[in-house]
Chain A
Amino acid sequence: MSVNVTGLRAEAAGKTLVDDVGFTLDAGRILAIVGASGSGKTTIGSALLGAVQRGVTATGTVEVAGVDVLHCAPSEVPASHLPQHPAAVLNPVRRIGGVLADIADVRRETARTEARPPGPATAARIADAMRRVGLDDPAYLRRFPHQLSGGQQQRLVLAQAFLCEAKLLVADEPTTGQDLDNRDRIAAELRLAAANGLAVVLLSHDLDLVEAVADDMLVLDAGRVVERGPAARVLTEPEHDYTRRLLAARTAEPAPAGGAEAPIRIAGRGLTVLAGRRTRVLDGVDFQARQGECLAILGASGSGKTTLARTIAGLQQATAGELLLDGEPLPVRGRRRTRAERARVQYVFQDARASFDEHRTILATVTRSAVRLRGLPPGQARAEAERVLHEVGLTAETANRRRDELSGGQLQRAALARALAAEPEVLVCDEITSGLDALTRKGVLDLLAALKGRGGMTILLITHEPFVAERLADRVLRIEDGHAVMEN
């Protein structure tokens, strides 16, 4: 059995999304399709599942185990989908066991009509599938999807794929949005799927994952295949220029080290934040950062790192503890901070889009920083804003647009600019690279590297990706369950 794609072309409203893509994939092998967003890999994934978006016309042949998926009924498609957010394909109001039973019953029906001998009973098959993915406990069957963690949900989707005897698994960006420790687990799951006889198509921009699991690899640029071959070969000896650029984004020289002997800029002692009555989101955290230094605050999601960042910036009220800025106490209760204090400690939001007012232009918003926090008159403030925006790589034309007209990466830069326009002494960057694809992330990190140490600015970099910390940080503070664990 194999997957055969020939001459796949997809168009929407005159724009070509996928241009003459073809490949073959056998059962038990993993093909990685790599490319930036907008490269067409999403459309290819959809096509493999036999579901093309409304308004998109797809031509060509997409055959999975002999079934022409573009022209058959949905129930005949032998492919299964593992989405980036697994909760999307899990019915929120039905118990897990119930849905699994429905899926298992299907094969029983087909077996009956085809006069095959009935296989093991439904319950046994369900138990078997769950065991294979590591969700042995029968208690899971009575739970609802939202009671499972993200990783468990992913495994559940895999179990469903086994149960419906899918021949192809389309895995869409499985590592994006998950913590880094999970990458190994996800790789293991993909290998498990392949070992169970599925062909796996992995859509990803995470080259580390690709390196770990993929047998073959396709590189897409603007809908075209620019390179293909065994993954090992492509990753080490790329032939096409675009592939080289992608690979280059994975590595970069570390930024220049900063201020090992400089005076301490900002320090915190015993910071504690309670949520509700019992839960300690932060428990007695101490830290310090010098002038010109970059301190990375590293932790998994839910560890409390964002809370720490927000507390430092004054957006979150700490129940106990103190903050010192240049040796002077900094009000822990944000409401008490003067504008001057706010100007000195600035914060860059993770969700840059949501942090901008949709009704005003980017330039207007950044100008306000200069006006309110530095007391500049409007004309001068505007000029300042334009300067800072230019520095982060946004043209004047882009700056005059509103938030919904900009892409994610541009907005992240704009958020940086807004913070920089205040000329802060401490810049807190909260997960500003997560959700960005490799090339964009490189751009932002390059920018931060250039800013680091300039004028003695201290950067507090919150992230869950060790790679980012390695690139920029002088020291690393690890946060786990609200405790600061290690500093090196």
Chain B
Amino acid sequence: MSPEPDLPESGRRGLDPDDLSHPPGTLDTRGAHNATHPTPGATSPRKRRTVLAPLVSGALESRHTRPSDRRNSLPERIALAALLALPLGIALVGPFLPVPERDRTQPFDPAAPWPGTDYLGTSVLNGVLDGGWGIVVTAAAATASAFLVGLPIGLIAAATRRRWIDELLMRPFDLLLALPSLLLMLLLASIAPPTAWMLVLIVALVNLPDIARIVRAAALETAHGPAVEAMWLQGESWWRTSIGHIARSILPTVAADAGVRLVGAFYLVAAASFLGVGAGPEASDWAVMVDVNRGGIFLSPWGVVLPAALLVALAVGLNLLFDRLLARKAAA
């Protein structure tokens, strides 16, 4: 049941004294209407958006994880910040820390100082400090490039009046979506030279279809909605309409999706490293460490536990962060 339209939270609306103009009160809000806030003039004949469809592909929440469902308390925020700061800090700063290279000793050396040595005898500490940078930067670069290309494509596909342009742009992506991302990655890795740039390119390519689709879906509603029509009627220039208005209105959705994509890219890069695919044989990052040091896990566990813990912390932290941002946006 909806509250009276002039409850304090909507009291910002100025009421002209002789303009008792709120639309007829309704006892129903949910069900047939997409109503996060009551929509005056609710009898428009527009298509009713079904509340059953997921809001954003990749989003885990519908609007029901309201802030009231979770305490956004200070200790929680600090814990989250710490959870993220530690692995991120090590990843980004680690390679530049002036920690001396330790000498190679024997593999899984019980006598070596904490955290011991890995399967080759090199120091785990050095591995941990150097091993985060590659994964984080690759994931970030791949996500950024994917957006750089996907955003304009999605926007154009949504805003164009010519159906064939839309089809031309999006159909190839529909076809690409038939393949799971890890599989696509492996396929491309099988023919690509194993350099870091290729990995960035491949991960970007894998994410491109999803991004284009999401941008297009978000922009579609606006691009053919009344506001854009009104702008046309006003003689507004194309530039102002598409960039000024459409792009601006999809920004929240895109920002939310960027988070999801980043996390996905991170997983993909880590999984690829773990499988030994992608970067060359000399590559050694956290995921590779988890893979190669598995054998000696009970001689010297830190070779696996440390990088695994850092990866998990980073993954959990990123997920929690973007979850919160999504929930806040959905509740707003």
B-contacting residues of A (Cβ < 8 Å)?
Answer: 12-15, 17, 36-43, 45-46, 49, 51-53, 55-56, 81, 83-85, 87-89, 92, 170, 172-173, 176-177, 203-205, 301, 306, 313-315, 334-335, 339, 342-343, 346-347, 349-359, 365, 368-369, 372-373, 393, 395, 397-398, 401, 405-412, 415, 418-419, 422, 434-437, 439-440, 443
B34 within 8 A of A: no
Complex: A176 Cα to B19 Cα, angstroms? 19
B161 in contact with A410 (CB, 8 Å)? no
A398 and chain B: residue at smallest CB distance: B14
B120 within 8 A of A: no
A sample of 23 cross-chain residue pairs with beta-carbon separation below 8 angstroms, ordered by A number, consists of A42-B25, A83-B28, A85-B26, A85-B31, A88-B30, A170-B27, A173-B25, A176-B24, A176-B43, A177-B43, A301-B45, A334-B232, A349-B229, A355-B229, A358-B249, A372-B234, A393-B16, A393-B19, A408-B40, A411-B41, A415-B230, A437-B23, A440-B20
Q: Kindly identify which residue among A52, A334, A355, A435 contacts B227, using a CB–CB cutoff of 8 Å.
A: A355
The verdict on A38 contacting B6 (CB below 8 Å), with A355-B229, A408-B23 known, is yes
The verdict on A313 contacting B233 (CB below 8 Å), with A56-B3, A408-B41 known, is yes
Contacts of B191 in A (CB 8 A): none
Q: Kindly identify which residue among A14, A342, A440 contacts B8, using a CB–CB cutoff of 8 Å.
A: A14
B31 in contact with A87 (CB, 8 Å)? yes
Report the interface size class on chain B: 35 or more
A53 in contact with B19 (CB, 8 Å)? no
B178 within 8 A of A: no
The verdict on A84 contacting B24 (CB below 8 Å), with A398-B16, A407-B13 known, is yes
Complex: A341 Cα to B78 Cα, angstroms? 60
A350 in contact with B21 (CB, 8 Å)? no
B15 within 8 A of A: yes
A15 in contact with B7 (CB, 8 Å)? yes
Complex: A366 Cα to B1 Cα, angstroms? 35
Contacts of A46 in B (CB 8 A): 1, 27
Closest 4 CB pairs of A and B: A409-B21, A42-B25, A408-B40, A88-B31
B12 within 8 A of A: yes
Complex: A172 Cα to B245 Cα, angstroms? 37
A410 in contact with B236 (CB, 8 Å)? no
Contacts of B25 in A (CB 8 A): 37-39, 41-42, 172-173, 203
4 extra A-B contacts, CB within 8 A, seeds A372-B235, A435-B44, A439-B20: A13-B7, A52-B1, A177-B43, A407-B15
Contacts of A407 in B (CB 8 A): 5, 13, 15, 19, 21-22, 40
A42 in contact with B43 (CB, 8 Å)? no
Complex: A343 Cα to B235 Cα, angstroms? 8
Q: Kindly identify which residue among B14, B23, B31 contacts A401, using a CB–CB cutoff of 8 Å.
A: B14
B137 within 8 A of A: no
Complex: A343 Cα to B226 Cα, angstroms? 17
B3 in contact with A88 (CB, 8 Å)? no
Q: Kindly identify which residue among B31, B33, B229, B234 contacts A368, using a CB–CB cutoff of 8 Å.
A: B234
Contacts of B22 in A (CB 8 A): 36-38, 407-409, 437
Contacts of B233 in A (CB 8 A): 313-315, 342, 346-347, 419
B86 within 8 A of A: no
Contacts of B20 in A (CB 8 A): 36-38, 437, 439-440
Complex: A323 Cα to B230 Cα, angstroms? 21
B316 within 8 A of A: no
Complex: A49 Cα to B1 Cα, angstroms? 10
Complex: A37 Cα to B41 Cα, angstroms? 12
Most chain A beta-carbon contacts within 10 A, residue among B21, B50, B236? B21
> Binding site of B, secondary structure by majority: helix, strand, loop or mixed?
loop
Q: How far is the CB of B32 from chain A (nearest CB, A)?
A: 4
Contacts of B31 in A (CB 8 A): 85, 87-89, 92
Contacts of A53 in B (CB 8 A): 1-3
Contacts of A203 in B (CB 8 A): 25
Contacts of A373 in B (CB 8 A): 234-235
B39 within 8 A of A: yes
B27 in contact with A440 (CB, 8 Å)? no
A368 in contact with B236 (CB, 8 Å)? yes
Residue-wise, chain B 211-228 has the 8 Å CB interface mask toward A (1 for contact) of 000000000000001110
Most chain A beta-carbon contacts within 10 A, residue among B33, B233, B249? B233
Contacts of A87 in B (CB 8 A): 31-32
Q: How far is the CB of B18 from chain A (nearest CB, A)?
A: 7
Q: How far is the CB of A32 from chain B (nearest CB, A)?
A: 14
Q: Kindly identify which residue among B16, B44, B161, B248 contacts A351, using a CB–CB cutoff of 8 Å.
A: B44
Contacts of A170 in B (CB 8 A): 27
Q: How far is the CB of B192 from chain A (nearest CB, A)?
A: 43
Contacts of B237 in A (CB 8 A): 372
A83 in contact with B26 (CB, 8 Å)? yes
B248 in contact with A359 (CB, 8 Å)? yes
A351 in contact with B226 (CB, 8 Å)? yes
Contacts of B59 in A (CB 8 A): none
Contacts of A415 in B (CB 8 A): 230
Q: How far is the CB of A327 from chain B (nearest CB, A)?
A: 23
A405 in contact with B12 (CB, 8 Å)? yes
Q: Kindly identify which residue among A42, A335, A356, A406 contacts B4, using a CB–CB cutoff of 8 Å.
A: A42
Q: How far is the CB of A364 from chain B (nearest CB, A)?
A: 11
Contacts of B234 in A (CB 8 A): 342, 365, 368-369, 372-373, 418, 422
Complex: A15 Cα to B4 Cα, angstroms? 11
Q: How far is the CB of B140 from chain A (nearest CB, A)?
A: 29
B52 within 8 A of A: yes
Complex: A406 Cα to B22 Cα, angstroms? 10
Complex: A83 Cα to B30 Cα, angstroms? 12
Complex: A325 Cα to B245 Cα, angstroms? 31
A177 and chain B: residue at smallest CB distance: B43
Complex: A92 Cα to B53 Cα, angstroms? 13
Complex: A38 Cα to B13 Cα, angstroms? 13
Contacts of B26 in A (CB 8 A): 42, 83-85, 172-173
A172 in contact with B27 (CB, 8 Å)? yes
Contacts of A397 in B (CB 8 A): 14
A37 in contact with B27 (CB, 8 Å)? no
Residue-wise, chain B 246-257 has the 8 Å CB interface mask toward A (1 for contact) of 001100000000
B8 in contact with A436 (CB, 8 Å)? no
Contacts of B232 in A (CB 8 A): 315, 334, 342
B163 within 8 A of A: no
